[in-house]
Structure 1
Amino acid sequence: MKSQGLIYHPECFKCFICKGNLEGYEYTVDENKNLYCMPCYYKVFSPRCTKCHHRILPVENTNITIRIEASEKDYHMNCFRCDDCGTILSDQQGQECFPIGGNLLCQDCHVRRVTRDKHQLIRIMN
């Protein structure tokens, strides 16, 4: 077997993790030239969701990974929610993300927090 300029015995052409034979299957190679079947590759190298800490895996039976990146963090679509009220956030008008202090907030909760913090600051200053 030949892959990316390397030659393998047929019995050595197997996944680094599960040891399954890769002949006839989709696979990839890491920077150390280790071979991976796609399911094992995704389980090892896929990013983790900041909210639930599970791997963000491709949609079943595809190689398409759907994730949201916000403030340099990764999220499942269903985990990308307002930290205060739980509303799912998106790029749709009225569902945008307004991060503040490391929290993901919808517009209403963002305004509430800013207003609350402003009132607390005024009380402290008086």
Structure 2
Amino acid sequence: MKMNLHYFLSIKTLFNIIVFAFEIFVLIINRIFAPRCCVCMEPIMPKPGEEETVRVVALDRSFHFECYKCEDCGLLLSSEAEGRGCYPLDQHVLCKSCNAKRIQMLTQRI
């Protein structure tokens, strides 16, 4: 009986090691192949304990939801909130207000 219990614990331990190794393998693969945020350069991956994440793609660049901000004023941009959309200008991610300011500055130079 003692041998069987020892054998069972060994199999259970081996199984736990395999599960842990697989989880580490998946984490490494995700970090290697996940798209990277163009602002913070970190991989865009689900947070621990979550299975999905939100990736914003604008101007052929990927952003974390939290990193998708106006380059001038830092306003968090959103396609859903009124007045908080992205108004790009010369490949810059801008809010409506900062876009208007830049256009005004550009037209004053002419």
TM-score of the pair, normalised by structure 2: 0.75
Q: 67, 73, 82: which one pairs with 1:93?
A: 82
- Tell me the residue number matched to 1:58: 46
Q: Partner amino acid for 1:49?
A: C
Structure with bigger gyration radius: 2
Counterpart of 2:103 in structure 1 is 114
In the TM superposition, residue 70 of structure 1 has moved relative to its aligned partner by 0.5
Q: Which runs of 5+ in 2 are unaligned?
A: 1-16
Q: Is 1:56–1:65's contact at 8 Å kept on the other side of the alignment? A: yes
Structure with the larger helix share: 2
Could you report, residue by residue, the CA deviation over 1:68-114 in whole angstroms, capped at 9, with x for unpaired residues?
Answer: 11111100111111000011001111100001111100000000001
Identity across aligned pairs (percent)?
Answer: 28
Contact 1:59 1:66 in 2 (8 A): no
Normalising by structure 1, we get a TM-score of: 0.66
Note the alpha carbon deviations across 1:29-48, whole angstroms, 9 max, x for none.
xxxxxxx8321221111111
Q: Is the 8 A contact 1:89 1:96 kept in 2?
A: yes
Structure 1 residue 68 and structure 2 residue 44: aligned? no
Q: How many residues align?
A: 93
1:65 CA drift (Å): 2.0
Of structures 1 and 2, the one with the larger relative CO (CA 8 A, separation 6+) is: 2
Root-mean-square deviation (CA), in Å?
Answer: 2.1
